[in-house]
Amino acid sequence: MASVHWSRSVRHDARPHKLVSDLVLPLGYASAAVLAAVLELGGGRDHLWFSVAVFAVLTAVFSAQTRVVWAPAVAVVCWLFLDGFMVNSQGELAWRSTDRAGLAVLLVAALAGATTGAITRRRDHA
């Protein structure tokens, strides 16, 4: 008698988990606010490039959790707090060379984080 073997086909999705990718911007927003407050208390305005580096790490970590197309949005959210509270004061935004340099650093960090996350997810699902 012939035996029947059932096999389930499991489809692996290359996109990150929907809940995580949906929460990246709100969590990034909240984390950037907390980070700005902590850096402000620790004298981050006196050491601007240290603050930019810490915000770049935060941007890269959150960008790695989402799709590459959302990376610039994560960078802009982090830049709003960096520029408004670390570079300038009292939430004022400006567009001087220091402000543009901070945005450029965060955009590069976001792209690097998102690309690394995409490669890691692709490798995990391959």
Phi-psi map region of 63: left, alpha, beta (phi>0 left; psi -120 to 50 alpha)? alpha
DSSP conformational letter for 88: S
pTM for the whole structure = 0.82
- pLDDT given for residue 16 in this prediction: 47
Q: What are the tens digits of pLDDT across the range 47-100?
A: 999 999 999 999 999 999 988 898 999 999 999 999 999 999 888 999 999 999
**What percentage of the chain has pLDDT greater than the value 70?**
83
- pLDDT given for residue 12 in this prediction: 54
